[in-house]
């Protein structure tokens, strides 16, 4: 188990239990949480764990602020969508789309890193924002290839289609359909990618990235070429984000600007990183689950609360489901106030205090 986690244990009993429960819940989601809405949320959690963890490789481990992360996420989705739309929708087309998207993302990330990482952090952030905006504009104009604002709907390999079924076979009362197989492709892919990221950040390369984050001048002084390490970190982060985009496209069987290139997704990623805790990939797991569960079910909870307080017009109006973004923002502010180092940082801090006390 320790080898699988690259030696990076949660270092908190509470955190360990929470992570195991999340893993078990995601592994059993099709059976434990029936319904399309719950399954879609579970798949989205798997994908966003990889997406957020790949961004944390930049922000939390290397100290680089970038606003172009959704661009690489979108490249992965569009690579699969275009390949599936223009080729026979099979595993070969899926591989071509994924490999092509990885190549494009790696090249763009290399150029961004090579030409921009020598400037100050704020200027680099602005450059990435400009590149991401230009890419989104280009995608909307190349409608013949990308579908423009409407995006692309495509077919996936037959075994992953909802209409596919293995006869009348069932597992724990759940039919073995293409939707079920598609979910486990996403789950397995996300798990492998997360473990790979965990291996990277706990390798000697990852230790150098953390040294650069803490003091880049000192890292440069002892012989590390910080520009090279930052560029490699940018490329790796982009490639993992691209693979997350591939998983999203396979799950949705659609890709468009709203699902992969929206700036709202970039904001969500930043919020999740802060909530979970920067500089720890386990924070990506905790933050993603908390954020997406709140985003999915907060309106339902508020509707129940609004109906229950109908006798109090002002309170009922404040709890109206249409105001869910207000309460989501309030929950975020409270989480930052009470967990300034993120949920994982707080849990690990409590364990450290206990260790000192004993």
Q: pLDDT per residue over 288-333, tens digit each?
A: 999 999 888 888 888 888 888 888 888 888 888 888 778 878 878 8
| Burial tier of 353 (Cβ tally within 10 Å: 0-12, 13-18, 19+) | exposed
Contact call for residues 241 and 72 (beta carbons, < 8 A): yes
Backbone angles phi, psi at 15, to 5 degrees: -65, -40
Establish if 350 belongs to a structural domain.
yes
Establish if 33 belongs to a structural domain.
no
Better pLDDT: 2 or 241? 241
Establish if 349 belongs to a structural domain.
yes
* pLDDT for 254 beyond 50: yes
Contact call for residues 333 and 275 (beta carbons, < 8 A): no
Better pLDDT: 267 or 119? 267
Establish if 128 belongs to a structural domain.
yes
* pLDDT for 58 beyond 70: yes
At 357, is the pLDDT very low, low, confident or very high (cuts 50, 70, 90)? very low
Q: What is the DSSP letter of 175?
A: E
> What pLDDT does residue 312 have?
81
Mean pLDDT on 345-349? 80
Establish if 7 belongs to a structural domain.
no
Better pLDDT: 348 or 286? 286
Name the helix (H) or strand (E) containing 170.
strand 165-171
| DSSP letters for 81-102 | HHHHHHS-SSHHHHHHHHHHHH
What gap in Å lies between CA 107 and CA 87, rounded to an integer?
Answer: 24
What gap in Å lies between CA 285 and CA 56, rounded to an integer?
Answer: 11
CA-CA distances (angstroms) from residue 302 to 294, 305, 320? Answer: 11, 5, 6
* pLDDT for 227 beyond 90: no
> What pLDDT does residue 185 have?
95
> What pLDDT does residue 169 have?
67
At 356, is the pLDDT very low, low, confident or very high (cuts 50, 70, 90)? very low
Domain with 261 in it: 13-27+41-357
Mean pLDDT on 255-281? 90
Mean pLDDT on 204-233? 86
Mean pLDDT on 182-195? 95
CA-CA distances (angstroms) from residue 345 to 12, 180, 283, 284? Answer: 10, 35, 8, 12
Percent of the chain with pLDDT over 90: 39
Better pLDDT: 346 or 73? 73
Domain count across the chain: 1
The 10 Å Cβ neighbour count of residue 356 is: 7
> What pLDDT does residue 63 have?
85
* pLDDT for 24 beyond 90: yes
Mean pLDDT on 126-136? 89
At 355, is the pLDDT very low, low, confident or very high (cuts 50, 70, 90)? very low
* pLDDT for 2 beyond 60: no
Establish if 3 belongs to a structural domain.
no
Mean pLDDT on 249-275? 91
- Of 306, 307, 297, nearest in space to 328 by CA: 297
> What pLDDT does residue 5 have?
65
Mean pLDDT on 195-213? 90
The position carrying tokens 């994982």 is 344
What gap in Å lies between CA 13 and CA 187, rounded to an integer?
Answer: 25
Mean pLDDT on 28-32? 88
Better pLDDT: 275 or 167? 275
Q: What is the mean pLDDT of the chain?
A: 86
Establish if 5 belongs to a structural domain.
no
Establish if 4 belongs to a structural domain.
no
Residue 107: CATH number of its domain: 1.10.3470
Better pLDDT: 215 or 240? 240
What gap in Å lies between CA 310 and CA 313, rounded to an integer?
Answer: 6
What gap in Å lies between CA 240 and CA 72, rounded to an integer?
Answer: 9
Q: What is the pLDDT of residues 156-166, one digit of tens each?
A: 988 888 887 77
Percent of the chain with pLDDT over 70: 92
Mean pLDDT on 88-93? 90
Contact call for residues 352 and 13 (beta carbons, < 8 A): no
* pLDDT for 352 beyond 60: no
């Amino acid at each position: 188990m320790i080898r699988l986690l690259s030696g990076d244990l949660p270092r908190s009993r509470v955190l360990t239990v929470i992570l195991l429960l999340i893993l078990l819940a995601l592994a059993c989601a099709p059976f434990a949480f029936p319904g399309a809405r719950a399954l879609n949320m579970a798949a989205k959690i798997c994908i966003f764990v990889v997406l957020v963890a790949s961004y944390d490789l930049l922000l939390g481990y290397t100290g680089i602020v970038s606003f172009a992360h959704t661009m690489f996420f979108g490249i992965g989705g569009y690579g699969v969508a275009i390949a599936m739309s223009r080729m026979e929708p099979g595993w070969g087309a899926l591989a071509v789309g994924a490999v092509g998207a990885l190549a494009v993302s790696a090249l763009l990330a290399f150029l961004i890193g090579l030409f921009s990482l020598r400037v100050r952090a704020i200027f680099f952030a602005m450059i990435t924002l400009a590149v991401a905006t230009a890419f989104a504009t280009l995608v909307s104009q190349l409608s013949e290839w990308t579908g423009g604002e409407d995006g692309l709907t495509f077919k996936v390999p037959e075994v992953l289609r909802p209409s596919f079924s293995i006869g009348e076979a069932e597992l724990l009362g759940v039919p073995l359909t293409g939707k079920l197989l598609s979910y486990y492709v996403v789950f397995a892919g996300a798990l492998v990618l997360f473990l790979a990221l965990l291996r990277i950040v706990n390798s000697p390369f990852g230790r150098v990235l953390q040294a650069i984050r803490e003091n880049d001048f000192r890292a440069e002084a002892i012989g590390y070429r910080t520009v090279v390490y930052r560029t490699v970190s940018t490329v790796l982060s982009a490639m993992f984000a691209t693979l997350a985009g591939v998983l999203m496209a396979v799950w949705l069987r659609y890709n468009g600007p709203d699902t992969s290139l929206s700036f709202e997704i970039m904001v969500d990623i930043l919020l999740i990183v802060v909530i979970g805790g920067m500089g720890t990939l386990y924070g990506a797991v905790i933050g993603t689950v908390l954020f997406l569960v709140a985003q999915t079910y907060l309106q339902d909870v508020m509707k129940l609360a609004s109906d229950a307080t109908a006798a109090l017009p002002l309170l009922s109006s404040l709890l109206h489901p249409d105001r869910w973004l207000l309460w989501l923002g309030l929950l975020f502010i409270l989480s930052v106030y009470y967990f300034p180092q993120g949920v994982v940082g707080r849990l690990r801090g409590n364990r450290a205090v206990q260790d000192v006390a004993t």
